[in-house]
Structure 1
Amino acid sequence: MSEDTAADASAIEEHRPHLLAVGYRLLGSRADAEDAVQDAWVRWDRLGPEGRAAVRDVRAWLSTAVARLCLDRVRSAPARRESYVGPWLPEPLLTTGPDDVLDAVVAAADVRMATMLVLEHLTPDQRVALVLHDSVGLGFDEVGVVLGTTAPAARQLAHRGRRRVREAAGAGELPVPVGAPEQRRVLDAFLAALAAADVAALVAVLHPDAALRTDGGGVVKAARRVVRGHEKIARLLVALLEEAGPELLADVRPVTVNGEVGMIFPSSPPMVGVLTVADGRAVAVDVVMTPEKLRA
């Protein structure tokens, strides 16, 4: 490897967590985000030494490249979601500690499940404009170039996206994050109630307006609609546990998923769940079961 190539690879690695966060927030897929980062490196390499030397802000250039590579997939996502079987959830990001690049991704941007689901309700161009301006820090001139529109139009797109996020927060769809100890307390209570098949205890740990989403992608058996209400969720979870047998919980272990407390079920098929906690109770239980989303 030449010195120039090594320096280029070093530049990509330096910004890799940030770039993965950009791609993930746009696509909701770690694998697709990694592909976009790799393709951005190829474009960076093709600039040649003189072209790279002329780039004033490497991070911004790479962020723009990743966004452009993601744009077609972002714009086609609504059509793919229309044909998706059951609730859609983003690919979960399981992190293991400060040496894990994904831990840096979670720290670099708000990629909580609740936030990702709110972003899914934006138009594709609103999502790109909001992420590139508010999270990446690109100016609206640059955002407009990525979207193929003017700076004022890009500003308006970001404004509309931001307004939708505020509305979601006001409606309780985007609860204020709570600390890890509080999240873990709720998770422990949730798993204890589940292990005991105690409907009343589950009801107590769930918010009355809680939502349960199970993403099976039409490949794994899962609820086809979002289940709402703590009593409905509690009864359904206990019924599913009775059907699956106690071995489902035998090896369950707590993990960090998208920066929040979660759990991994090393069953067949495996499952990853995450709780969104607010006011001392779980307001959302999201379970990813689609094998393609769990390969990583």
Structure 2
Amino acid sequence: MTTRSEPGQDRPDPGLEAITSERRQLINLAYRLLGSLAEAEDAVQETYTRWYAMSRQQRDAIRSPGAWLTTVAGRVCLNLLGSARARRETYVGEWIPEPLPEHTEWISGRQGFTMADPADRVTLDESVDLAFLVLLESMTPAERVAFVLHDVFCHSFAEVAEIVGRTPAACRQLASSARRRVRASRPATTPAAQRAGIVRDFKQAWEAGDIDALIGLLDPDATAIADGGGVVTAFLHPIEGGERIAHAWAELARRRPGDMTFLERTVNGQPGLVAQQGGVTVTVLAFEVTGDRIRRIWVIRNPEKLRRWTRG
């Protein structure tokens, strides 16, 4: 049997540039939905695979390729969120979203060490700071998708409903529930310069092993959470209380290797710290600052989440 080519199948796709230009938006969406850039890249790849699995005629019949790609990416992420919950139940220790460095530090972790493609960069705004992503983790998959798509990316509830598989009214309720949770959990904003100064003071006190100075910088009810993924050493349970955290950090300073250095870096668009050993990033620390005190510290040590932080 001879199979005839589809009409126009051998011609360049005139919409190719428009389709590929959607990649950055899709990466931004998927990272906020999944909290992992590696998983976001996989979700976007699956979305494009489904696009090109269609015939040329089917693709040409789609009036808004961008909307189609967003819908499919949203559904892929929704499915991944469900399976991710099951995987994280067996995760060793606490699971923290993958931290992102500044664009100039980005490294591709897939095929060796090369600078990331600009189309893969995530826009670093308040919807991507680590405290916000951790809060999103507390939502159900449907809540998270509805909230991010509507409140962050400004999609209508009719569009959200097509992705989530519920009515627009139900999606409105999902987003409203998520919004209340965000408002109840988000602290009052501390000016960026003040946050950077507090993180800098914390770094100096940590390097000096100054327990009193550390206690003064930490909220009495502060919490420190670490993610080693069972691959490297990290405390498995959160450390509660400013004094306990201060003593733990002073002990870390006492035990640190001689070639370890602490650097001030931007983590997901916010002031943070990086620990490097032999030029390799081994720990990334993100902070939530309320007023003039540190309320939360996230310590990411899982090497799988730090591949974009080290130049090779």
Q: TM tier, shorter chain?
A: 0.7 to 0.9
Matched with 2:296 is 284
Give the counterpart of 1:110 among 127, 142, 163: 127
Match status 1:261 vs 2:279: no
Per the TM alignment, residue 42 of structure 1 is displaced from its structure 2 partner at its CA by 2.6
Distance 1:39 1:122 in 2: 24
Aligned residues of 1:93 and 1:258 also touching (Cα < 8 A): yes
User: Which letter does structure 2 place at the counterpart of 1:264?
Assistant: V
Matched with 2:176 is 159
Distance 2:191 2:19 in 1: 32
Matched with 1:191 is 203
Task: Say which one has the larger Rg.
Answer: 2
Aligned CA-pair RMSD: 2.5
Distance 2:281 2:270 in 1: 22
Matched with 1:247 is 259
- Structure 1 runs of 4+ with >6 Å offset: none
User: Which letter does structure 1 place at the counterpart of 2:124?
Assistant: V
Match status 1:25 vs 2:32: yes
Q: Deviations over 1:235-275 (max 9, x none)?
A: 00111221234533x3x222211111112212277111112
Matched with 2:142 is 125
**Identity fraction in percent:** 38
Aligned residues of 1:60 and 1:138 also touching (Cα < 8 A): no
The TM-score normalised by the length of structure 2 is 0.82
Report the secondary structure of 1:106's partner residue. coil
Report the secondary structure of 2:138's partner residue. coil
Distance 2:13 2:255 in 1: 56
Matched with 1:65 is 72
Q: Deviations over 1:154-209 (max 9, x none)?
A: 222222222222222xxxxx224444322221121011101110000111122222
Aligned residues of 1:97 and 1:103 also touching (Cα < 8 A): no
Distance 1:16 1:200 in 2: 48
Note the 1:67-216 alignment, pairs <5 A: 67-97=74-104, 104-107=122-125, 110-168=127-185, 174-216=186-228
Per the TM alignment, residue 87 of structure 1 is displaced from its structure 2 partner at its CA by 1.6
Per the TM alignment, residue 152 of structure 1 is displaced from its structure 2 partner at its CA by 2.1
Per the TM alignment, residue 13 of structure 1 is displaced from its structure 2 partner at its CA by 4.4
User: Which letter does structure 1 place at the counterpart of 2:175?
Assistant: A
Per the TM alignment, residue 102 of structure 1 is displaced from its structure 2 partner at its CA by 6.4
Matched with 1:171 is none
Matched with 2:6 is none
Aligned residues of 1:18 and 1:105 also touching (Cα < 8 A): no
Gaps of 5+ in 2: 1-9, 106-116
Residue 104 and residue 289 in structure 1: after superposition, are their counterparts in 2 closer, same or farther (change >3 A)? closer
Gaps of 5+ in 1: 169-173
